[in-house]
Amino acid sequence: MGDVEKVKEEAMQILGASEVLPKLVVFDLDYTLWPFYCECRSKREMPSLYPHATGILLALKQKGIHLAIASRSPTPHIASSFLNKLNLNSIFVAQEIFSSWTHKTDHFQKIHSTTGVPFNSMLFFDDENRNIQALSCKSGMIGIIGIKDGSDKHLGWEWGQPWSTKRRAYKILSKLECISEEQAEMVGQVL
Protein backbone atom coordinates (compact mmCIF):
# COMPACT_ATOMS: atom_id res chain seq x y z
CA MET A 1 0.00 0.00 0.00
CA GLY A 2 1.47 3.39 -1.03
CA ASP A 3 1.64 6.54 1.06
CA VAL A 4 -1.48 8.02 -0.55
CA GLU A 5 -3.48 4.88 0.25
CA LYS A 6 -2.18 4.79 3.84
CA VAL A 7 -3.17 8.41 4.42
CA LYS A 8 -6.54 7.81 2.77
CA GLU A 9 -7.23 4.76 4.98
CA GLU A 10 -6.27 6.65 8.12
CA ALA A 11 -8.45 9.59 7.09
CA MET A 12 -11.36 7.23 6.32
CA GLN A 13 -11.09 5.76 9.82
CA ILE A 14 -11.17 9.20 11.42
CA LEU A 15 -14.08 10.32 9.23
CA GLY A 16 -15.92 7.06 9.94
CA ALA A 17 -15.70 7.72 13.67
CA SER A 18 -17.19 11.20 13.26
CA GLU A 19 -20.88 11.65 13.95
CA VAL A 20 -21.13 15.05 12.28
CA LEU A 21 -19.48 15.78 8.95
CA PRO A 22 -19.60 18.89 6.77
CA LYS A 23 -21.43 18.69 3.45
CA LEU A 24 -18.72 20.70 1.71
CA VAL A 25 -15.03 21.24 2.47
CA VAL A 26 -13.43 24.24 0.78
CA PHE A 27 -9.67 24.58 0.41
CA ASP A 28 -7.41 27.47 -0.35
CA LEU A 29 -4.58 26.52 -2.71
CA ASP A 30 -1.37 28.41 -1.93
CA TYR A 31 0.23 27.14 1.29
CA THR A 32 -2.86 25.08 2.07
CA LEU A 33 -2.95 22.34 -0.57
CA TRP A 34 0.48 23.03 -2.03
CA PRO A 35 3.63 24.58 -0.51
CA PHE A 36 4.09 27.60 -2.78
CA TYR A 37 2.44 30.65 -4.37
CA CYS A 38 1.19 29.99 -7.91
CA GLU A 39 2.29 33.42 -9.08
CA CYS A 40 5.90 32.50 -8.27
CA ARG A 41 5.82 29.48 -10.57
CA SER A 42 5.72 28.83 -14.27
CA LYS A 43 2.74 27.13 -15.85
CA ARG A 44 5.22 24.71 -17.43
CA GLU A 45 6.37 23.33 -14.06
CA MET A 46 5.04 20.14 -12.53
CA PRO A 47 3.52 21.08 -9.16
CA SER A 48 3.25 18.95 -6.05
CA LEU A 49 0.83 18.92 -3.15
CA TYR A 50 1.64 18.67 0.53
CA PRO A 51 2.47 14.98 1.12
CA HIS A 52 -0.81 14.04 2.83
CA ALA A 53 -3.14 16.20 0.75
CA THR A 54 -4.06 13.69 -1.98
CA GLY A 55 -4.99 10.93 0.48
CA ILE A 56 -7.14 13.29 2.52
CA LEU A 57 -8.89 14.72 -0.55
CA LEU A 58 -9.66 11.20 -1.78
CA ALA A 59 -10.98 10.14 1.63
CA LEU A 60 -13.29 13.16 1.86
CA LYS A 61 -14.57 12.48 -1.65
CA GLN A 62 -15.11 8.77 -0.95
CA LYS A 63 -17.04 9.70 2.20
CA GLY A 64 -19.44 11.70 0.03
CA ILE A 65 -18.23 15.12 1.14
CA HIS A 66 -18.16 17.66 -1.67
CA LEU A 67 -14.94 19.59 -2.26
CA ALA A 68 -14.36 23.10 -3.56
CA ILE A 69 -11.57 25.64 -4.00
CA ALA A 70 -11.52 29.30 -2.99
CA SER A 71 -8.29 31.01 -3.99
CA ARG A 72 -7.37 34.69 -4.36
CA SER A 73 -4.47 33.83 -6.66
CA PRO A 74 -3.61 36.63 -9.10
CA THR A 75 -2.66 33.90 -11.60
CA PRO A 76 -5.77 31.70 -11.95
CA HIS A 77 -4.48 30.28 -15.25
CA ILE A 78 -1.44 28.83 -13.45
CA ALA A 79 -3.55 27.47 -10.57
CA SER A 80 -5.96 25.83 -13.01
CA SER A 81 -3.08 24.40 -15.02
CA PHE A 82 -1.57 22.92 -11.84
CA LEU A 83 -4.88 21.34 -10.80
CA ASN A 84 -5.16 19.84 -14.27
CA LYS A 85 -1.59 18.47 -14.15
CA LEU A 86 -2.33 16.91 -10.75
CA ASN A 87 -5.55 15.32 -12.13
CA LEU A 88 -7.63 17.08 -9.48
CA ASN A 89 -10.08 19.12 -11.57
CA SER A 90 -12.81 16.48 -11.49
CA ILE A 91 -12.96 16.11 -7.69
CA PHE A 92 -13.98 19.72 -7.03
CA VAL A 93 -17.64 20.73 -7.44
CA ALA A 94 -16.63 24.39 -7.57
CA GLN A 95 -13.39 26.21 -8.31
CA GLU A 96 -13.42 29.91 -7.56
CA ILE A 97 -9.93 31.14 -8.37
CA PHE A 98 -9.61 34.89 -8.89
CA SER A 99 -7.86 37.87 -7.32
CA SER A 100 -9.97 39.78 -4.83
CA TRP A 101 -9.74 42.21 -1.91
CA THR A 102 -12.82 40.78 -0.18
CA HIS A 103 -11.31 38.06 2.06
CA LYS A 104 -12.94 35.51 -0.25
CA THR A 105 -16.53 36.53 0.48
CA ASP A 106 -17.19 36.79 -3.28
CA HIS A 107 -15.65 33.35 -3.76
CA PHE A 108 -17.96 31.81 -1.19
CA GLN A 109 -21.07 33.52 -2.52
CA LYS A 110 -20.30 31.89 -5.88
CA ILE A 111 -19.58 28.51 -4.27
CA HIS A 112 -22.86 28.72 -2.35
CA SER A 113 -24.74 29.68 -5.54
CA THR A 114 -23.15 26.80 -7.46
CA THR A 115 -23.59 24.09 -4.81
CA GLY A 116 -26.61 25.21 -2.80
CA VAL A 117 -24.79 24.09 0.37
CA PRO A 118 -25.57 26.39 3.31
CA PHE A 119 -22.58 28.19 4.80
CA ASN A 120 -23.05 26.53 8.19
CA SER A 121 -22.53 23.13 6.51
CA MET A 122 -19.18 24.15 5.05
CA LEU A 123 -15.70 23.69 6.48
CA PHE A 124 -12.93 25.92 5.14
CA PHE A 125 -9.15 25.43 5.28
CA ASP A 126 -6.92 28.43 4.63
CA ASP A 127 -3.49 29.64 5.70
CA GLU A 128 -4.59 33.27 6.21
CA ASN A 129 -6.23 34.19 9.50
CA ARG A 130 -7.96 37.23 7.98
CA ASN A 131 -9.90 35.02 5.55
CA ILE A 132 -10.93 32.64 8.33
CA GLN A 133 -12.14 35.36 10.67
CA ALA A 134 -13.97 37.35 8.01
CA LEU A 135 -15.78 34.35 6.58
CA SER A 136 -16.58 32.57 9.84
CA CYS A 137 -18.15 35.60 11.44
CA LYS A 138 -19.98 36.94 8.39
CA SER A 139 -21.37 33.69 7.06
CA GLY A 140 -21.62 31.25 9.96
CA MET A 141 -19.20 28.94 8.18
CA ILE A 142 -16.50 27.15 10.13
CA GLY A 143 -13.01 28.12 9.09
CA ILE A 144 -9.82 26.43 10.16
CA ILE A 145 -6.51 28.11 9.68
CA GLY A 146 -3.53 26.04 8.66
CA ILE A 147 -0.66 26.57 11.06
CA LYS A 148 2.65 25.50 9.62
CA ASP A 149 5.29 24.19 12.01
CA GLY A 150 8.26 24.55 9.70
CA SER A 151 7.79 21.16 8.06
CA ASP A 152 5.26 19.65 5.67
CA LYS A 153 2.82 19.04 8.50
CA HIS A 154 -0.17 21.27 8.28
CA LEU A 155 -3.36 21.63 10.28
CA GLY A 156 -5.82 19.22 8.75
CA TRP A 157 -3.01 17.02 7.51
CA GLU A 158 -1.77 15.99 10.97
CA TRP A 159 -4.09 13.01 11.27
CA GLY A 160 -1.58 11.18 13.44
CA GLN A 161 -1.65 13.88 16.13
CA PRO A 162 -5.32 14.57 16.88
CA TRP A 163 -4.77 16.23 20.25
CA SER A 164 -2.41 18.91 18.97
CA THR A 165 -4.62 19.48 15.94
CA LYS A 166 -7.75 19.85 18.06
CA ARG A 167 -5.99 22.09 20.54
CA ARG A 168 -4.86 24.42 17.75
CA ALA A 169 -8.27 24.37 16.09
CA TYR A 170 -10.07 25.19 19.33
CA LYS A 171 -7.56 27.93 20.12
CA ILE A 172 -8.61 29.61 16.90
CA LEU A 173 -12.32 28.81 17.31
CA SER A 174 -12.36 30.23 20.82
CA LYS A 175 -11.47 33.64 19.36
CA LEU A 176 -14.49 33.56 17.07
CA GLU A 177 -17.49 34.26 19.26
CA CYS A 178 -19.83 33.95 16.28
CA ILE A 179 -19.47 30.15 16.11
CA SER A 180 -22.24 28.01 17.56
CA GLU A 181 -21.62 25.04 19.84
CA GLU A 182 -22.93 22.71 17.10
CA GLN A 183 -20.39 24.07 14.63
CA ALA A 184 -17.55 23.73 17.13
CA GLU A 185 -18.64 20.14 17.76
CA MET A 186 -18.59 19.44 14.01
CA VAL A 187 -14.97 20.61 13.87
CA GLY A 188 -14.11 18.52 16.92
CA GLN A 189 -15.60 15.44 15.26
CA VAL A 190 -13.72 15.99 12.00
CA LEU A 191 -10.33 16.80 13.51
Catalytic residue annotation: 28, 30
List Cβ neighbours of 32 (8 Å cut-off, separation of 6 or more). 125, 126, 127, 146, 154
Helix (DSSP H) and strand (DSSP E) numbers for the chain: 7, 5
Distance, in Å, from the CA atom of 53 to the CA atom of 113, rounded to the nearest integer, reads: 26
List Cβ neighbours of 13 (8 Å cut-off, separation of 6 or more). none
Contact call for residues 23 and 66 (beta carbons, < 8 A): yes
